[in-house]
């Protein structure tokens, strides 16, 4: 892209110089002629409108090289270069990557203007050699755009296309993707298919997706059976992402998906069953807002090593089912989205787990929730190296150590000598959270303990613009209480071999009043 940009700037400078001097250059009869390449690098070429067009004549490069340079330019720069050079004009008409959005097309005055600009490009494009087509309507899709879009797809979707990405407008009518476009071999070359806010109804007759490696469907109306039609011939599929596809109830990953290694499913609220026979699936991510767990059928020899899972009451099901479904896990991220109950676990279940992150994101934790019960996860993970607890839920006031300053509980000693790194974000003054921290200091070989009281999703950096995320007054007060609790109950317990990092709210963006016991009174 750097070389193309430099050439474009040189063309523009030469054009300005020529206008100032008002001297015409000798027309170039043969760009490949060595005699014509001597002297100036830029010569004129005939143009239908002005009769003059700049042509770059040195150094000599093969036509394929010019086309490659032009294809690396952003759309705006590529269009400008085509206006200055006949060589680039030819490349523009055969540009392999077409990307249309409000960003690439510049300022647009509504849907009509957006459609007009895209249509002007597509009318002049030969349709030959298109390898990637991206159209992002960003709220500009309308009924009027449908007929235009289908014509653009007819031009671009050929047996050579490798990437197809369509993003319609959320909240408006779904676009009924014409699956017939992918028949007769047109779908066999596609490596990436990315659809947003579309209706997609593939059938067994649609043909083969033998080159498809990445499939991303978001807000797409498709059923489990229709998804199976895609899977049945997607022998090269490596990466699958489904988001908010609410018509899927059952998903089966067949054994023909030999290369599939990554699956992500989010917000597919009607999904009840995931059956996997893909032998090399290593990473699985499942998140949805529902109170029922998805039935997972992965066989006894599952090779899944990285699992992220989140739904209501997931902590309860994690201890009962996940160790048996995924016996080879090495990293596990659990996000509890609903009511939480303290649940013990059976020791030594995640034998290979090295990284565990638990996010508690319920609106408000129940007063009875016991952070100390999370020790059961440590007992169940003898190989654990990194343990992260992310507390983003609100706390009842009466669970603070300052409301109930009785003696801190201690569990029977059980060593976790492989644990090296512990981080608790959203650290609060909850009594059971202090008990959990104390247990970790007493019964592990932790080397680094980070207690983050900031509650900030974004933190500013010195010398860079922007401010930290806003913190409500209640959160600032809780952060002050947490800092006081750390100084009172934790700092004196930290061994010299442990590096303690305490993260406070940013002093540049927040004003926090220090907390004392007298302040509480």
Domain ranges of the chain: 174-304, 309-404+414-456+469-520
User: Residue 112's pLDDT is what?
Assistant: 81
Helix (H, G, I), strand (E, B) or coil at 330: coil
pLDDT at 264 over 70: yes
Residue 469 neighbours by CB distance under 10 Å:
14
User: Residue 437's pLDDT is what?
Assistant: 95
What does the pLDDT average to over 242-247? 95
DSSP string, 397-425: GGGBTTTS--PPP-PPP--BTT--EEEEE
Q: What is the dihedral of CA 432, 435, 436, 440, to 10 degrees?
A: 180
pLDDT at 13 over 80: no
Return the H-helix or E-strand segment holding 214: strand 214-221
Q: Model confidence at 53, in pLDDT bands (50, 70, 90)? A: very low
CA distance 212 to 34: 46
Written as six digits, the tokens of 303 are 């090779």
Q: Model confidence at 110, in pLDDT bands (50, 70, 90)? A: confident
What does the pLDDT average to over 304-320? 82
User: Distance of alpha carbon 251 from its chain centroid, rounded?
Assistant: 22
What does the pLDDT average to over 427-438? 91
CA distance 367 to 439: 21
Written as six digits, the tokens of 246 are 């609410």
Q: Model confidence at 354, in pLDDT bands (50, 70, 90)? A: very high
What does the pLDDT average to over 172-191? 85
Say which range, 51-60, 139-148, 388-397, 448-457, has the weakest mean pLDDT: 51-60
Q: Where is pLDDT greater, at 24 or 310? A: 310
pLDDT at 170 over 80: no
Backbone phi, psi, residue 519, to 5°: -60, -40
Say which range, 159-163, 374-378, 414-418, 458-462, has the weakest mean pLDDT: 458-462
Residues comprising the chain, all counted: 521
Which DSSP symbol is given to 394? B
Which DSSP symbol is given to 293? P
Measured CA angle at 122 (ends 119, 124), to 5 deg: 110
Cα separations (Å) of 308 from 179, 210, 237, 326, 356?
33, 29, 21, 12, 10
What does the pLDDT average to over 191-198? 95
pLDDT at 215 over 50: yes
Quick check: 383 and 353 in contact, CB under 8 A? yes
User: Residue 321's pLDDT is what?
Assistant: 82
Q: Model confidence at 473, in pLDDT bands (50, 70, 90)? A: confident
Which DSSP symbol is given to 28? P
DSSP string, 56-86: E-SS---HHHHHHHHHHS-HHHHHHHHHH-H
User: Residue 22's pLDDT is what?
Assistant: 43
Q: Which residues contact 445 (CB under 8 A, 6 or more apart)?
A: 416, 417, 418, 419, 420
User: Residue 33's pLDDT is what?
Assistant: 40
Backbone phi, psi, residue 350, to 5°: -95, 80
pLDDT tens string 378-407: 988 999 999 999 987 776 667 788 887 778
Q: What is the dihedral of CA 142, 148, 154, 155, to 10 degrees?
A: -130
Q: Where is pLDDT greater, at 341 or 410? A: 410
Token pair 């997607």 is found at 234
User: Residue 441's pLDDT is what?
Assistant: 94
CA distance 281 to 304: 6
Cα separations (Å) of 231 from 180, 189, 236, 237, 276?
17, 15, 10, 8, 12
Backbone phi, psi, residue 276, to 5°: -120, 130
Q: How many CA atoms lie within 13 A of 131 on its CB side?
A: 6
Q: What percent of the chain has pLDDT over 90?
A: 35
pLDDT at 363 over 90: no
Written as six digits, the tokens of 305 are 């090593």
Written as six digits, the tokens of 518 are 């007298």
- Secondary structure of 461-518 as H, E, C letters: CCCCCCCCCCCCHHHHHHHHHHHHHHHHHHHHHCCCCCEEEEECCCCCCCCCCCCCHH
pLDDT at 2 over 60: no
- For the chain, what is the radius of gyration of the CA atoms? 30
Quick check: 44 and 28 in contact, CB under 8 A? yes
């Amino acid at each position: 892209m750097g070389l193309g940009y430099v050439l474009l700037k040189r063309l523009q400078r030469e054009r300005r110089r020529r206008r100032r001097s008002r001297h015409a250059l000798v027309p170039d009869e043969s760009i490949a002629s060595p005699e014509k390449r001597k002297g100036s690098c830029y010569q004129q070429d005939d143009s239908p409108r002005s009769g003059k067009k700049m042509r770059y004549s040195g150094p000599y490069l093969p036509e394929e090289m010019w086309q490659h340079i032009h294809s690396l330019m952003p759309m705006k720069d590529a269009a400008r270069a085509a206006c200055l050079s006949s060589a680039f004009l030819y490349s523009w008409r055969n540009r392999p990557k077409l990307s249309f959005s409000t960003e690439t097309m510049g300022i647009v005055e509504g849907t009509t203007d957006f459609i007009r600009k895209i249509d002007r490009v597509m009318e002049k494009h030969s349709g030959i050699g298109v390898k990637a087509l991206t159209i992002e309507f960003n709220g500009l899709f309308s009924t009027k755009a449908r007929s235009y879009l289908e014509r653009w797809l007819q031009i671009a979707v050929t047996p050579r296309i490798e990437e197809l990405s369509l993003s319609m407008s959320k909240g408006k009518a779904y676009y009924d993707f014409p699956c017939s476009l992918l028949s007769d071999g047109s779908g066999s070359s596609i490596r990436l298919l990315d659809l947003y806010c579309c209706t997609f109804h593939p059938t067994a007759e649609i043909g083969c997706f033998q080159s498809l490696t990445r499939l991303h469907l978001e807000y797409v109306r498709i059923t489990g059976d229709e998804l199976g039609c895609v899977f049945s011939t997607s022998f090269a599929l490596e990466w699958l992402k489904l988001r908010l596809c609410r018509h899927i109830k059952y998903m089966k990953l067949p054994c023909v998906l030999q290369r599939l290694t990554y699956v992500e499913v989010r917000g597919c609220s009607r999904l009840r069953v995931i059956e996997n026979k893909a032998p090399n699936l290593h990473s699985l991510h499942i998140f949805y807002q529902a109170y029922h767990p998805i039935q997972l059928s992965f066989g006894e020899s599952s090779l899944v090593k990285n699992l992220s899972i989140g739904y209501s009451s997931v902590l309860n099901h994690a201890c009962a089912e996940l160790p048996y479904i995924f016996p080879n896990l090495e990293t596990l991220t659990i996000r509890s989205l609903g009511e939480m109950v303290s649940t013990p676990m059976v020791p030594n279940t995640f034998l290979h787990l090295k990284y565990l992150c638990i996010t508690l994101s319920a609106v408000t934790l129940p007063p009875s929730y016991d952070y100390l019960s999370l020790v059961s996860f440590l007992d169940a993970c003898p190989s654990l190296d990194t343990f992260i607890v992310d507390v983003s839920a609100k706390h009842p006031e009466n669970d603070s150590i300052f409301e109930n300053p009785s003696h801190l509980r201690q569990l029977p000693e059980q060593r976790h000598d492989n644990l090296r790194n512990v981080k608790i974000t959203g650290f609060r003054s909850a009594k059971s959270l202090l008990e959990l921290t104390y247990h970790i200091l007493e019964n592990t070989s932790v080397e680094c303990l980070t207690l983050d009281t900031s509650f900030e999703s974004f933190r500013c950096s010195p010398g860079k613009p922007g401010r930290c995320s806003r913190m409500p007054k209640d959160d600032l007060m809780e952060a002050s209480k947490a800092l006081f609790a750390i100084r009172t109950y934790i700092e004196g317990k930290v061994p010299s071999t442990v590096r303690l990092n305490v993260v406070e709210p940013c002093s540049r963006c927040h004003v926090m009043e220090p907390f004392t016991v007298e302040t509480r009174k």
